[in-house]
Structure 1
Amino acid sequence: MANGSRSMKPGEIVLPLALGQFVASFAATNMNVAISTIAADIGTTVIGIQTTITLFTLVMASLMIPCSKLTDIWGRKACFVTGLVIYGTGALLASSAPGQGLLTFGYSVLEGVGSALLIPPIYILVTVVFADLGTRAKYFGVVSGAGGLGAAAGPLIGGLITSGVGWRASFLLQVLIVVWIIVLARRIDDPPRTGRRPRFDVPGALLSVLGLFCVVFGVLLTGNYGWFAARKDFSIGGTVVIPAGGVSPVWPFIGLGVVVLAVFAWHIRARERAGRDPLVSASLFRDRASNLGLLTQSVQWFVLQGSFFVLSVFLQQVRGDNAIQTGLELLPATIGILISSAAAERLARRHSQRRLIRSGFVTTIAGIALLLALVRDDSGFLSSVPGLFLLGAGVGVMLTASVNLVQSTAPEQAQGDISGVSRSVSNLGSSLGTALAGSVLLGAAHPGGTPFALALGTLGLVAVLGLVAAILIPRGPVSATGTPPAPRASTD
């Protein structure tokens, strides 16, 4: 452990961090199974609730980098606890919402802001508290496993609570968990930051928020408008801006986002050259291992969330499963994630992060291949078990190894920067995976057979591209402490 935290037990640090990641991941997926119930209860439409869910993703993804920078100014523990308070307040308001307005403010805005504040400190604290790479991998495995469990179990837990008690109880459960985490977090000893506190780059924050918002919003529009030709009129304020059949509004938004992010990149370089504090140091993007690690992170979340979406749609619309049955059928993937995450420390001590990421992609691709080979419209539950388990196990290995690689390439003073960028690319990957899979399945009259195979095959192709990126990661990257990553790190 870091010098300032020797008196602390690892569990006192890691348990609240893992629970924080769990509740944030849970919030991102549990609403999906209660859309119709919530819409009927508060007198709105299914589209209205879907918009609320989309806005949560937008707020969280857009604010991740600026909120991560605040950890350098306010402190990691302070940001973590502040994020929990905002998140818990949002969940409490959402649980009592009489209409869509308060639900959107509580869930989309406050829970989105809270998630953006509390998630980056989780990964920063694990990095700065645990200097040894193997130990760090162990606790990244715990955190990643908690995140995977929250994302995978969200539909199942949400379905059970909605069916048995009501959708409002799901938000109250989040409030109780948040209160528990805040109590546990009192014992976290945040190692003091070395050097002066940076100034907050307001213009850079605005540019990053606008750029990421436009890119993620454009990606999320694919479900309604498609990737190429607009499936229906795109209107703003009642005025048709793009008629049906015209170019999809996806591309104008993504194009605008890319332009704004290019201006953001120019801004941080200019600010750094002038000796002023940028929102994110441009030097982070000059490290080949870090850049390729970030790319593999994005692909991992792309494949994981895309696969869960494809299988959820297939099981509910083709097999006729309800939310609870769907959650149970996805359980093998959750078990795979938990087992591989639990083995993270042992794997990190025996193999380089590069090798683990490559092995994870190979295992994930094998899982997708088994799903394509065995799962049919009329096949039974067992047909999906081998593929889902390998998919989960492969992703679990990669999630821990990629996070460990990326976080360990940055020195302690840049942990806030790299954590924000890391979480942003992961969110972007999740959005892209769901959007791409959704554009293939939701446009089909029957989301089984060929559309199902096409969607899964596309995800498999993206996983192959991730494997290529993993192969290109340079050998034997050194951790931020200057210690070689593992005793046999160079024996790839």
Structure 2
Amino acid sequence: MNRWKPLVVLGTAQFLMVLDASVMNVSISQLVEDFDTEVTAIQAVITLYTLVMAAFMLTGGRIGDMFGRRRVFVVGLMVYAVGSGLTAVAPTVGVLALGWSVIEGLGAALVLPALAALVAGSYHGRDRAVAYGVIGGLAGAGIAVGPLLGGWVTTYLTWRLVFAGEVVLVVLILFLMGWVPGQAPPDRRPRLDVPGVVLSAAGLAVMVLAVLQSGTWGWVKPRNPPFTVLGFAPTLFAVALGGALIYAFCVHERRREDKGLDPLVSLALFDNRTLRAGLVTLFNQNTVLLGLFFVIPLYLQVVQGLDAFETGLRLLPVSVTMLAASMSGSLLLRFASPRTIARTGLLVLVAATLWLIAAIGPELRGGSFAGAMALLGAGMGMLASQLGNTVQSSVRQEERSEAGGLQYTAQNLGSSVGTALIGAILIGALASSVTTRIEDDPRVSAAVAEQTAVRVEAGVSFVPADDVATALAARPEVPPQEASALVESYRDAQIDGLKAAVLACTGITAGALLFTRRLPSARPPTDTRGAPGTGE
């Protein structure tokens, strides 16, 4: 039993890292109301949280190499607690973004690479597969508990209590840190590649920001951008700039390696095909997961009018099956290889998203929606049970911290892109559908249709249809019959936008199958004698 004590501490930290993100997703409507803002502002805060983690995860992994993973794990938890405390008392969206998105994000960027390396160093053989299955399962537990706990607290108390509770949980983890084995000090302390940090963080930030704003700016034709480039929307130019910065980062890293200097990350790791396949699959998994977990609460709360607790109850099937499938990872390995399990998980996800598209409608079909959610969780859990162990087992012991940084960079970059891209597709499809439906509706005059098109072109928000009705009632120049038609078109367009967003998730999932060929095709050895390591 003592050999699993480190997993208790590390697993609790993993649970903590995913808890508040799922709380935020079910609390979107309440956050919009509390801070008197729009859905897009909260979307930006959620995206910024995962973006900060993605941008600085490689840096966190390198700092772990420099000062010791266990020590950096502890410092990261302290930073995370500071961010949680500030979030709990945030008076404005700006302070919310500072506390949650920035400070908590930086703390997580220190914690997670160290966590991945500490798990890999504490267990071997099948015990390591079990440990990563448990870590994946506890991530699923965070997703399971988050919507329900966050929904209940948000509805009947306040979402701020969740973040106050996180501070208490960090104190508990720190109290139990004696259970986590120490590590031998490095023979040579590497230096931090500051230019590499700046280039990688800036490149990722610019690209994700462009995707996030694409619904407002437009992709090619300007919609409502702060500026244009040669008459075009700045979105693609910003994506290209971000790509150029990442390319410059790669050139810089190769030059440092050629000179014998310490890179932020060794690009030679990407020659490892198994590692590469695991990272791409992790990226795609989190793009779909966070994209759906942004869109589905909007459907339940904005379209169906459910409160945060009711939303959490509707998300419970995905949480339960994800937890069960994640925890079954070691058992699944007795019958199939990691590649087979991952491919099966992706196929299950494709089926789940197609089922979800059929279940989404003006009226909530409870049974069908719950079935789609349960299937979605099963697919996600199968992936979660394998990918962490695949990444860490594909590299040498001295490369684990770098691999952990890459692992969580891929996950959080996927989360950022998922929230930004799927949210942008939702808003873009909503705007397109509203305009088309109103233009084709004979009940709406040409003058009103033209005015509406101009307003939609300037930007459209995903708000309850009743809010649209209230706004139109205050405009005497719009006749009641036409106002009713406009509200009906907006309500139908919301469903169109939601289905388009979920369909995009289907496409991303299907595309991920192309990158699984290099995942391990053999089952791991059956030796179960793994013992805690002493070198990590």
Q: 1:26 aligns with which of 6, 19, 24?
A: 19
Distance 1:222 1:177, change over 3 A: farther
Shift in CA distance, 363/50, structure 1 to aligned 2, threshold 3 Å: closer
Which of 403, 427, 433 is the equivalent residue of 2:388?
403
Once the two structures are superposed, the pairs formed by residues 316-355 of structure 1 within 5 Å of their partners are 316-355=301-340
Give the alignment partner of residue 177 of structure 1, picking from 163, 169, 172: 169
Q: Following the alignment from structure 1 to structure 2, what is the Cα–Cα distance between the partners of residues 315 and 45?
A: 17
Aligned position for 1:139: 131
Q: Is the 8 A contact 1:351 1:486 kept in 2?
A: no
- Within 1, Cα distance between the matches of 2:386 and 2:9? 21
CA deviations 1:388-407 (Å, max 9, x no partner) are: 21211111111221221111
Q: Could you list the runs of 5+ residues in structure 2 that have no partner in the other structure?
A: 431-489, 528-536
2:363 counterpart SS class: coil
The 2-side partners of 1:422 and 1:203 are apart by 21
| Paired position in structure 1 for 2:352 | 367
Per-residue CA distance 1:25-55 (angstroms, 9 max, x = gap): 1222323444565566567776665544443
CA 1:442–1:43 in structure 2 vs 1: closer, same or farther (change >3 Å)? closer
CA distance in 2, matches of 1:373, 1:271: 52
Match of 1:242 in 2: 228
Q: Is the contact made by 1:58 and 1:217 (CA closer than 8 Å) also made in structure 2?
A: no
SS of equivalent to 1:330: helix
Mapping 1:280-429, distance limit 5 Å: 280-429=265-414
- 1:387, distance to aligned residue in structure 2 (A): 1.9
Change (3 A) 1:225 1:22: farther
> Is the 8 Å Cα contact of residues 350 and 486 (structure 1) preserved in structure 2?
no
SS at match of 2:333: helix
Q: 1:90 aligns with which of 83, 89, 101?
A: 83
Q: Is the 8 A contact 1:39 1:45 kept in 2?
A: yes
1:200 aligns with 2:192: yes
Contact 2:68/2:183, CA 8 A, preserved across alignment? no
Query: What is the deviation of 1:315?
Result: 1.9
Residue number in structure 2 paired with 1:274 = 259
Q: Distance in 2 between matches of 1:151 and 1:399?
A: 12
Letter in 2 for 1:82: V
In structure 2, how many angstroms separate the alpha carbons of the residues matched to 1:103 and 1:177?
20
Aligned AA for 2:285? Q
Kindly state the Cα deviation for residue 93 of structure 1 after the two structures are TM-superposed. Answer: 2.3
Q: CA 1:112/1:314 → structure 2, altered by over 3 Å: closer, same or farther?
A: same
C-alpha distance 224-286 of structure 1, shift in aligned 2 (>3 A): same
DSSP 3-state at the match of 2:13: helix
Distance 1:15 1:230 in 2: 51
Specify the alignment match of 2:513 in structure 1.
Answer: 467
- Amino acid of the residue matched to residue 140 of structure 1? Y
**Larger CA deviation: 10-19 vs 402-411:** 10-19
8 Å Cα contact 1:337-1:396 kept in structure 2: yes
The answer as to whether partners of 2:208 and 2:420 remain within 8 angstroms in 1 is no
* Secondary structure of the structure 2 residue equivalent to 1:377: coil
CA–CA separation in structure 1 for the residues paired with 2:220 and 2:268: 36
Q: Which moved more, 1:9-18 or 1:94-103?
A: 94-103
* SS of 1:221 mapped into structure 2: helix
Matching of residue 485 in structure 1 with residue 524 in structure 2: yes
With normalisation by structure 2, the TM-score equals: 0.80
Q: Deviations over 1:70-124 (max 9, x none)?
A: 1111111111111110111121122233445544332232111111111111111
Contact 1:358–1:471 (8 Å) recurs in 2:
no
Paired residue for 1:70? 63
CA distance in 1, matches of 2:217, 2:146: 27
Give distance in 2, aligned partners of 1:381 and 1:261: 45
Q: Distance in 2 between matches of 1:46 and 1:294?
A: 30
Q: Work out the CA distance in 2 between the residues paired with 1:412 and 1:321.
A: 49
State the distance in 1 between where 2:352 and 2:43 align. Answer: 30
Distance 1:207 1:199 in 2: 16
The residue type paired with residue 440 of structure 1 is I
Other structure's SS at 2:179 match = coil
Are the equivalent residues in 2 in contact too, given 1:348–1:486 (CA < 8 A)? no
Structure 2 letter corresponding to 1:485: P
Partner amino acid, structure 2, of 1:65: L
| Pick aligned residue for 1:150 from 122, 127, 142 | 142
Cα contact 1:140–1:403 (8 A) shared by 2: yes
Cα distance in 2 for partners of 1:84, 1:154 equals 19
- Give the counterpart letter for 1:467 in structure 2: L
**1:380, CA displacement in angstroms?**
2.2
Deviation of the 1:420 alpha carbon: 0.9
TM-score, reference length from structure 1: 0.87
Alpha-carbon offset, residue 317 of structure 1: 2.7
In the other structure, the counterpart of 1:217 is 209
Name the aligned partner's letter for residue 157 of structure 1.
L
Given the superposition, is the C-alpha separation of residues 19 and 455 from structure 1 closer, same or farther in structure 2, using an over 3 Å criterion?
same
How far apart are 1:56 and its partner, in Å?
2.5
Tell me the equivalent position of 1:113.
Answer: 106
Q: Aligned partners of 2:49, 2:192: CA distance in 1, in Å?
A: 24
2:90 partner letter: A
Q: Which residue of 1 aligns with 2:117?
A: 124
Distance in 2, matches of 1:277 and 1:441, equals 43
Cα pair 1:374 1:384 within 8 Å, conserved: yes
d(CA) in 1 for partners of 2:412, 2:67: 24
* CA shift digits 1:214-258 (9 cap, x unpaired): 222222223433444343132xxxxxx239x95343323221111
Aligned pair in 2 of structure 1 residues 30, 233: CA closer, same or farther (>3 Å)?
A: same
Where 2:516 maps in the other structure, the secondary structure is helix
Contact persistence 1:90–1:110 (CA under 8 A)? yes
Gaps in structure 1 of 5+ consecutive residues: 1-7, 235-240, 477-483
Between the two structures, name the one with larger relative contact order (CA 8 Å, sep ≥ 6).
2
Question: 1:14 aligned to 2:14?
Answer: no
Report the Cα distance in structure 2 between the residues aligned to 1:390 and 1:66, rounded to whole angstroms: 36
* CA deviation after TM superposition for structure 1 residue 295, in Å: 0.8
Partner SS for 1:247: coil
Deviations 1:419-476 (A, max 9, x none): 1111111112122222232223234134554433332222112111111211354644
Q: Distance in 2 between matches of 1:267 and 1:430?
A: 26
Aligned position for 1:57: 50
Please provide the CA RMSD for this pair: 2.6
Structure 1 residue corresponding to 2:223, chosen from 231, 236, 244: 231
Distance 1:372 1:168 in 2: 33
2:178 maps to which residue?
A: 186
